[in-house]
Amino acid sequence: METNRQSRIALSALSALAQEHRLEVFRLLVQAGPDGLAAGDIAEKLDIPSSSLSFHLSHLKQGGIVEVERQGRSIIYRADFSAMNGLMSYLLENCCEGAGCNVAVGAEPHLEKEC
């Protein structure tokens, strides 16, 4: 049962990222770090109209990979690093058939395995 739950969470996160603007937004939030960015700043930096950005941010939030916090009149968006680390762990949990390979999250992709 736990595997089905993990699969649904992974599918939700991956589908949220499976669109050009949402991927750009998420990468920008990763760059911003734990302070996050206000919606207006995101729209300005990526030149995305506010109405479209709201739609994309909603998908990222529903996908469980973006956190939202109101600060006064601003809404701050942050990448949920713990959710993304969980996703990467799930995707790589049986890497190289458990042989203890040297694949690291964040490493440059290559075609050869280092198992």
**Size (the chain), residues:** 115
Instruction: Put residue 19 in one of left, alpha, beta given phi > 0 → left and psi -120 to 50 → alpha.
Output: beta
- Is the predicted pLDDT of residue 9 greater than 90, yes or no? yes
CATH number at residue 90: 1.10.10.10
Is 36 within 8 Å of 69 (Cβ atoms)?
yes
> Tell me, what's the pLDDT at 104?
57
The single-letter DSSP state of residue 90 is H
Is 56 within 8 Å of 25 (Cβ atoms)?
yes
Q: Say what the pTM is.
A: 0.81
Is 89 within 8 Å of 76 (Cβ atoms)?
no
Structural domain range at position 18: 5-98
Count how many domains the chain has: 1
Mean pLDDT is lowest, of 1-5, 29-33, 34-38, 84-88, for 1-5
For the stretch 39-75, pLDDT in tens is: 999 999 999 999 999 999 999 999 999 999 999 999 9
> Tell me, what's the pLDDT at 101?
63
